[in-house]
Each structure stands twice: as C-alpha cells, then as structure tokens.
Amino acid sequence: MPTAAPAPTAHRTFAVRRLALTGAALVALLLAVLLSLAVGARPIAPSAVLDALFNGGHSDAADVVRELRVPRTLIGLMVGAALALAGTALQGITRNPIADPGILGISQGASVAVVIAIAYAGIHTLTGYVWFAFAGAGIASVAVYAIASSGRGGATPVKLALGGAAINALLVSVTMAVLTTKASALDEFRFWQVGSIAGRGSDVVGQVWPFLLVGVVLVFSVARGLDALALGEDVAKGLGQRVATVRIVGGVGATVLTGVGVAAAGPIAFIGLAVPHIARAVVGADHRWVLPMAALIGPVMLLVSDVIGRVVFPPSEVPAGVMTALIGVPFLVALVRRKTVAA
C-alpha cells in the first residue's frame, strides 16, 4: 500500500531551501553594508572600515566612516526595509501586484506635507520634514481607505487601487500648485523629491527608528491574515480571519513604514513595487517568509543603488532614488510582459 512519505520530505526540502536562501540574503546584506561604508569619493579599505567600527581608530578615514557613512548606511538599511515591507503589505491587502506606497498615493501625501512645511511653515531642515511627512502619509492613507470603503462591497482591491489613483492625482496637483505660487520652495523641494540617503545624520536615525519598529510589528502581526486574504475575502472569513482588522492593521503598519522611508530619504521609487515580487519568487507566497526576505532584499537594493550612484559619474553622485528607478523600470516592464503572457 503506498505511503505519504514523499510529501513531508518535499516539505522539509523546501524549508531547508528557504533557510539557505534567507542566509544568502543576509550575507548579501552584510556585503552591501560593507560596500556602503567603503566605497565613495574617497575609497576606504575594508580593513580600515572594520578598524573604525570595532577598534575606535582615529584616522581621517575612520572619521569619514563613523561620522558620514555609518549614518548614511543606517538610513539606507531602515528606508530599504521600510519601503519593501510597506509594499509587501499593500500588495497583500489590495491583492494588487503593482500596489506600492507611490501608486496608492501615500508617498505623494508625504510629499505634499513636505511642500507645505517648506513653503508655509518655514521649515528647512530634514529633521523638521520628518513629522510633516508622517502626517501627510497618514492623512493620504485614511483618505484612500475612506473612499474605497464607501458604497457597496467595502474596500475591495479595485476600489482601493482606484481611490489611490484619485488621491495621488489630486495630491500631485496640490504639490504643483504650491510650487507654482511659492517658487522659492522649488529648489529645496526638488532636492528632497529626487530621493537620496546622502547627507542624513544620526539625528534622523534617532527620530525614525521607533516608528520603524512600530510599523514592522504591525505588518508582521497580520502575516497569516495576508496569506488568507490572498485566497479571497470569503475564504479568509471562512478561515476565521477578520478581514477588516487585517486590512486596517496592515494598512496602518504600511503607512507608518512609508512615513519612515519618505520622511528620511524622500519618495524613493520601485523598492516597494519590485522587492515583494523578488521575495515571493525566492521563498514562495507565505508571508511569514516573504516579509523577512523583503526586509533583507530592500536594503540590499537601496544600498547597492546608492553605491553605484556614488561611482558612476565621479566626483558627482547620482541620488539613490534615480538609481532605484533605473533598476526598477526594466523590472516593471518584465513584470508587465510576464503578466501579459500569462493572461
């Protein structure tokens, strides 16, 4: 009589593969951190980087590492993880493969708030932008959910996507209107809008890490709910999941994470869109694995993009937001082609 032994064996093999790939992603993250600390206008040997970090070196190179590159790298780690987790949560909540903080209008909400802070509140420091960006992201996400929840059927994936597109278009118009009437704010906003982790200090790290922690906890707490939601609302309810709670908690977590990323580095594109797909391709659809993998891949993509931007046109730097877009556009085209073929 045949036995069911092969199934547990296949399951163990898949679990081992997931662990191995997660370990590989962790190694890639460590290498990206080392590159971020060592590469720049002034290359620093890895041995000098390690000496500055662990032995308290007092050379000029050690000062560059500790005072400039460590805060920049920490911001890259935080922003990359935050945007990747936010995109993963939003794609799960909306069941929309192209959902990300930018497409749903959350990033644009933060942008409008920063424009207002520059033009009307007289705030001209990055640490001042942080709180406005958080507030703008939160208001935009509430508006999108309110629009999608109205009418029959509640906040369906299609209504969330349409509500996000509508809010995004409105906020872009508001941003342009403010910049047109307050031309003095244009140059400062343009520097922030392009998206960069350069010039960020340890004070920014201290301001945003508590919010990052809150967002991570909220998003991870609904991992099982996101798995159930992927099967459809009726199935999720049949499995005992409170769909509204999953969406609200996950949406709040994604909003907080988006606020972290946009406040600290500007609206960096494509990480929230591309990384969730890469994570699912690596470890499968289980969000208990997808979320940690996204939190590892996101910083790798951002830090590597930042490093490439430092060396591609020396001595100038190409902002990380530009480099992630250059990397992300081919990925988006490939995704569209794949979905078209599959259809």
Alpha-carbon distance of 116 to 96, in angstroms, equals 31
Confidence of residue 228 (pLDDT cuts 50, 70, 90): confident
Q: Name, in order, each residue with C-beta under 8 angstroms of 43's C-beta and a sequence gap of 6 or more.
A: none
pLDDT of residue 155: 67
- Does the pLDDT at position 154 exceed 90? no
Average pLDDT of the residues in 90-105 = 82
Q: Indicate whether 11 belongs to any domain.
A: no
Q: Indicate whether 83 belongs to any domain.
A: yes
- Does the pLDDT at position 341 exceed 50? no
CATH code of the domain covering residue 219: 1.10.3470.10
pLDDT of residue 336: 66
Q: What is the full DSSP assignment across 111-128?
A: HHHHHHHHHTS---SHHH
More confident residue, 86 or 194: 86
Q: Indicate whether 70 belongs to any domain.
A: yes
- CA angle, 306 as apex, 176 and 164 as ends, to 5°? 40
More confident residue, 149 or 30: 30
Q: Which residue in this structure is represented by tokens 């939003």?
A: 90
The gap from C-alpha 130 to its chain's centroid, in whole angstroms, comes to 16
Q: Indicate whether 4 belongs to any domain.
A: no
Angle between the N-to-C axes of helices 157-181 and 126-149, in degrees from 0 to 180, rounded to the nearest 10: 140
pLDDT of residue 339: 58
Q: Indicate whether 1 belongs to any domain.
A: no
Q: Indicate whether 12 belongs to any domain.
A: no
Q: Indicate whether 323 belongs to any domain.
A: yes
Residues of the chain with pLDDT > 90, as a percent, come to: 24
Total number of domains constituting the chain: 1
**Average pLDDT of the chain to the nearest whole number:** 83
Range of the domain at 206: 17-342
pLDDT of residue 284: 87
Contact indicator for 291, 257 with CB cutoff of 8 Å? no
Q: Indicate whether 10 belongs to any domain.
A: no
Confidence of residue 78 (pLDDT cuts 50, 70, 90): very high
